[in-house]
Structure 1
Amino acid sequence: MKTIKPFLVLFLFSVFACTKDGSTSLDRPNIIYILADDLGYGELGVYGQKLIETPNIDALAKNGIKFTQHYSGAPVCAPARCMLLTGMHTGHAPIRGNDEWASRGAVWNLDSMAANPNLEGQRPLPDSISTIAQLLKENGYATGIVGKWGLGAPLTNSIPNTKGFDMFCGYNCQRMAHTYYPPHLWKNREKLVLNNKIVPLNSNLAEGADANDPKSYTDFTLNDYAPDIMHQEALKFIIENKDTPFFLYYASPVPHVPLQAKEKWVKYYQEKFGNEEPYTGNSYYPNRTPNATYAAMISYLDEQVGEIVATLKEEGTYENTLIIFTSDNGPTYTGGVNPEYFESAQPFEPQYGRGKGFVYEGGIRVPMVASWPGHIKAGTVSDHISVFYDVMATIADILNVEAPKQSDGLSFLPALLGEANPPEHDYLYWEFPEYKGQQAIRKGDWKAIRQDIKGGNLAIELYNLKTDLTEQHNIAAEHPEIIKEMEAIFIKEHTVPAINKFKMAALGD
């Protein structure tokens, strides 16, 4: 970790030593990290979205800072969360892709998962890998997570409560999160049974049903809406821990499909968008007004952000709370979502091959806004290049402690505080063994990409993001010296993964 400059140490001491009223009950800031799921770079008003309304998230940026060059650690759910929580990049981390651990049995069957927790969840983190929650807990923080975990099945050694979180309420399993009306959630180590019947994943309309009749969709709007339940637990956590420093990881499943949203918001966007073609595809669940429902999901999440801020203010902890809002990867293109309609990754391309699941900018560049009253200058826009695996180092910097040795990150605290010329990475690195196998490097304005590695391809595409932001012109042939440099980085940063599914033979695994 970098050494903190003496004047910054004095500044941080003065920041953390007292609250707004001059008391010293909180000597370190609360931290709320809100992670949306599959929210594209262009799906917030502050990032240019024209159709979906996000006033509360936009207000965080207005009162704080907006980052234009922030990256996820991976282009899909589980590895992105692993990079975030461990501070490791995908060349070093244990979880490098989504792994549903299918050898256990019927892992995609909701009835089977509801009956047998051994069929829930994804591959676990090893005991030797620590998380940001453990770092904060060791330094006196109350720690909580609501939302989606995805880093270890319920009966494994890797659940939130064994990885540093005092409180957990949400989905242990990413597959269970493919319905917003699940049969159960988890509250710490116990099942929280919900009043929802089981509707098999990927179910469609009943045979002969009228796709334009709202009654045809009754199986897909049930009783207990999981995001409501998790959100109330988050607000409760904030209230219960108002007198101690706390860390809340708000890992929302929204707006990941299926398209299931609150009626209030769906009606609002139905009126705004007018008639549209129903979605009756064969992935996730059908929806009568898919565009209205997708927009409704994002505005619902925005409403939840507003309620978090309001609760902080009511409890007198807002002034001493750092709030970060971001997304785990780029927008999806399946399940009825139309990213072209919303320009979801603007100015980048959102479609299959360029959005979620891919290491082009549309798949890994994500929005990030942060608010910290009195410490982050309101209305700031930063082009500082940062990435998920920097969060561990940033939190360590806030605490003025050393980050764990496993960390590949670099603190962006100086960028948050508006310090001139904050330290920068020499380069960022990604590898992703899914979607035929990919690698990427961001070094200054250069972006190097490998695709179809599992097919034996090691050719490197090269783009200059300064002149070709949307990666349209591969100029590898014109810069052999840069290609040689990128090849060396690809070799240096890749280690052989412990899990066979994540191995790529062409890289020597």
Structure 2
Amino acid sequence: MIKDTYCKSRPENRRIIANIVKIMKTMRIPIRRFLFLAGLFLLTLQSYGQQKPNIILILADDLGYGDLGCYGQRMISTPHIDSLAAGGMRFTNYYAGCSVCAPSREALLTGRHTGHTYIRGNFLTDDEEDPAMPDEKQTVAELMKSAGYRTGLFGKWGLGGEGHGPETQGFDSSFCYLDQIKAHNYYPPYLYETGRRVMLPGNAGEARGTYSHDLFAEKTLDFIRGSKPGADPFFLYLPYTIPHGAYTLPPDTPYAAKDWPQQFKVYATMISKLDRDVGRIVQLLREKGLADNTIIFFASDNGANMGFARFFGSNGKFSGSKFGLYEGGIRVPLIAYWPGKIRPGQVSSHVTAAWDFLPTLCQLSGTRAPRNIDGISFLPALKNSRQPEHPFLYWEYYNYNYNWYKPGNKLPRNYLLNAAVRYGKWKAIRDNLLENPDAPVQLYDLETDPGEKKDVAAQHPDVVARVQRFFRSSSIADPPYFPYAPDTAAPLHVFRVSSPAETKALLHYTPDRIPFVSSHRGGPTLGYPENAIATFRNTLRHTWSIMEMDPHYTRDSAIVVMHDPTLDRTSTGHGKISDHTLAELQQLQLKDVHGNVTQYKIPTLDAVLEWAKGKTLLIMDQKDVSVEVRARKIMEHHAEANVLIMAYTFEDAQKCYALDKDIMMEVFIPDRAAAEKFEKTGVPWSNVVAFVTHGEPKDSGVFRYLHERGVMAIRGSSRNIDKQYTGGEISKQELLEGYRRIIRSGADIVEADLGIEAGQGLGPIQVMQGTKKKFFDHAAQ
């Protein structure tokens, strides 16, 4: 077998093999054994002598099938990309992984279609960033590394935030946006270089000094300059952001004289700018002597937006656009260029998709593709060999409802909108699945009707029956985002205390201390306002947390919970709480931290006290409600096990203790001198948690002094690292490390504006350690 294989691959060696056989017969050496060993040795030499190709995969963002000259575009100039097509192979039946960016990218990198991917639509998590593709997902970059490739990524990642970037999924070098929402801004304040946040001074203060795509192009050229013929091969993935919106540019558009709306001039310029940089890549490869051993792929992540489809014919002859699974949303360009290996000027009608890249690149690099993928290598098509075909292709698309938290919203946070199958010449779609989960199959004959104008399902019931089986068998559940499990389905992280004695035991300092989070005003985030029960509950979905609340009097002497005495954070946007009755306030809606009006009302103090029982501990701030009134409210609700009173003065602490010996207090004790003074008040240390400082303590020994008396100490983060993070001055990882530093300094509780992030920084493993484990639990409420 080896003899036959070697001779077929190298016919000129047949004479050598024949001569060796004669010698072996003369020497009476077993010919079969010798041939096996010699053939194996020769095959090894042959393999060793073949250099693996460099691989460059360029992925444009929202570039339609008809946006390139080689695919019929007449208004936008793309000479360099057209030259790749003329010198290589152009595919006419290539499909993106999805009709939006994040799932399309996962499909490409993992070799799995969107019935099997983790991400199946663009989604904004509670952390206001893209969902992170799980670390255990094996990417083509990791496989390339295992084959000896140097790997790089420049452009848009879109598959996870800080700590979940390209560097965690097989890329040696990267310079990119992590989040696809932030990639809308071409003048960002920072980008990420191999996991590290890099500030861009030229864009500080919303200046427009540094255009991100230009940085990606230069980083690409630098990466190529670092290679040379005969060196280790490289895999370069270039998910560039253009021509995606927002549609902004440096003022150098070549289409300035056109009588077009400005947005279309910018779009065309973005494509021409991309084309220019493709030309620079090819030219550098030639200068470096790398061109003949480098294969370049050019594709797009999904179809163009409808506006460009109408103006430029961006999606060619196809119906639909980005966000949909008609051909215009998913059929996109694919060009393969490899001088001397791919015959120039070819056009392939092979039906292939983004998930075929992984097995194709594995075959190019000589490594084995994983078994549990949906992709099929299209390398045979590139070599004009016999190409295996897909029995069918499958897509599904989940739509994200960006208004899910706004008043009057009726739609879920995300939902399956449509699914599609390509089966031979047939295209089947099930559309508007939210309105009609049993939506019928639409069927189109793409050979005669590529624009999907005529539904022929009624004429072909046999085809419909078959594609319905494909729809039923092609999707597996992959929580938590698609479909999204609402917060109400997640368990609460609760403090399981039922008496003042248990609360005192929970808050008593021990050497095996458990770090707590005091979530300032509930840790509001997107869609959740300050001091609302829904916000408290949302935080408890993510971490064990003490909640701080702020009581105020209304005009009719009811007590409500809101951060400040004005109505700036409600739907009226003006006035004071004390100018309104409770009934009037109940007509208002609260705003979240971004100023968006939410569906939530201002809660009463009574409602919050009753809700907190068996779930969390509350710290009741002073505001305009006296300490005596606050203490009596706690007593009225028998809530001593769930509430601490903020006592700004030692006199207030004495008043509380005089009213109720079980009441716990948070008292300001910045140093040992203050602690010594407090000891003279007669209030037991067992009733106290100490707030020390918002920054570094001036008296570092105060923590030890308090701990010796069994008192847990609080340090605040709201005025330093929280503020720095929300202002974009530090990264998420730096924020989380900041919380850990606070605990390492001797504090036991972090008082944070960002309660969920603080919980992430301290970690559930730390929380569940120690003798106090009995006080923590999950509740299904």
Shorter-chain TM-score bucket reads: 0.7 to 0.9
- Give the whole-Å Cα distance in 2 for the aligned partners of 1:304 and 1:402: 32
Residue 483 (structure 1) shift: 1.1
Taking the TM superposition and a 5 Å limit, the aligned residue runs for 1:309-320 are 309-320=282-293
Residue 7 (structure 1) shift: 8.9
**How big is each residue's C-alpha offset from its partner over 1:208-244, in whole Å with a ceiling of 9 and x where there is no partner?**
xxxxxxxxxxx7xx10111111111111111113322
- Give the whole-Å Cα distance in 2 for the aligned partners of 1:414 and 1:257: 36
CA contact (8 A) 1:31 1:248 kept: yes
The answer for the alignment partner of 2:314 in structure 1 is: 344
The answer for the alignment partner of 2:179 in structure 1 is: 173
- Give the whole-Å Cα distance in 1 for the aligned partners of 2:204 and 2:174: 23
- Give the whole-Å Cα distance in 1 for the aligned partners of 2:188 and 2:396: 32
- Give the whole-Å Cα distance in 2 for the aligned partners of 1:73 and 1:331: 14
**Aligned AA (1:141):** Y
- Give the whole-Å Cα distance in 2 for the aligned partners of 1:87 and 1:464: 27
**How big is each residue's C-alpha offset from its partner over 1:377-413, in whole Å with a ceiling of 9 and x where there is no partner?**
0001110110000001111222333211231100000
Q: Does 1:187 align with 2:193?
A: yes
**Aligned AA (1:344):** S
CA contact (8 A) 1:26 1:244 kept: no
SS at match of 1:319: helix
**Aligned AA (2:203):** N
Residue 59 (structure 1) shift: 0.4
SS at match of 1:35: strand
Q: Does 1:400 align with 2:366?
A: yes
Residue 147 (structure 1) shift: 0.2
Residue 498 (structure 1) shift: 1.6
Residue 454 (structure 1) shift: 2.2
Q: Does 1:244 align with 2:235?
A: no
Q: Does 1:423 align with 2:388?
A: yes
The answer for the alignment partner of 2:423 in structure 1 is: 443
- Of 405, 410, 435, 2:376 maps to 410
Taking the TM superposition and a 5 Å limit, the aligned residue runs for 1:277-292 are 277=261, 289-292=262-265
Q: Does 1:461 align with 2:442?
A: yes
CA contact (8 A) 2:147 2:367 kept: no
**How big is each residue's C-alpha offset from its partner over 1:106-151, in whole Å with a ceiling of 9 and x where there is no partner?**
x3xxxxxxxxxxxxx4111112210000000001000000000011
- Of 470, 478, 489, 1:497 maps to 478
Taking the TM superposition and a 5 Å limit, the aligned residue runs for 1:66-85 are 66-85=90-109
CA contact (8 A) 1:42 1:343 kept: yes
- Give the whole-Å Cα distance in 2 for the aligned partners of 1:322 and 1:358: 31
Change in 2 beyond 3 A, CA 1:247/1:408 = same
Residue 422 (structure 1) shift: 1.2
Show structure 1 runs of 5+ residues with no match. Answer: 12-21, 108-120, 200-218, 278-288
Residue 503 (structure 1) shift: 6.0
- Of 330, 337, 345, 1:371 maps to 337
Q: What TM-score comes out, normalization by structure 2 length?
A: 0.53
Show structure 2 runs of 5+ residues with no match. Answer: 11-45, 401-415, 487-781
The answer for the alignment partner of 1:204 in structure 2 is: none
- Give the whole-Å Cα distance in 2 for the aligned partners of 1:8 and 1:452: 58
**Aligned AA (2:235):** F
- Of 308, 316, 326, 1:360 maps to 326
Q: Does 1:36 align with 2:42?
A: no
CA contact (8 A) 2:303 2:321 kept: yes
**How big is each residue's C-alpha offset from its partner over 1:268-321, in whole Å with a ceiling of 9 and x where there is no partner?**
2012x13x44xxxxxxxxxxx222111100000000000000111111101100
The answer for the alignment partner of 1:207 in structure 2 is: none
**Aligned AA (1:372):** W
Change in 2 beyond 3 A, CA 1:254/1:460 = same
Taking the TM superposition and a 5 Å limit, the aligned residue runs for 1:60-209 are 60-101=84-125, 103-104=126-127, 107=128, 121-155=129-163, 158-194=164-200, 195-199=202-206
Change in 2 beyond 3 A, CA 1:9/1:377 = farther
CA contact (8 A) 1:448 1:463 kept: yes
Task: Tell me the number of residue pairs that the alignment of Structure 1 and Structure 2 aligns.
Answer: 429
**Aligned AA (1:191):** R
Is 190-199 or 141-150 further displaced after alignment?
A: 190-199
CA contact (8 A) 1:96 1:502 kept: no
**Aligned AA (1:385):** V
Residue 262 (structure 1) shift: 3.6
- Of 251, 270, 295, 2:256 maps to 270
The answer for the alignment partner of 2:300 in structure 1 is: 327
- Of 82, 86, 95, 1:58 maps to 82
Identity of aligned residues (%): 41
Residue 197 (structure 1) shift: 3.5
User: Which protein shows a greater Rg?
Assistant: 2
SS at match of 2:255: helix
- Of 462, 465, 469, 1:484 maps to 465
CA contact (8 A) 2:147 2:366 kept: no
Which stretches of structure 1, 4 residues or longer, exceed 4 Å deviation after superposition?
5-11
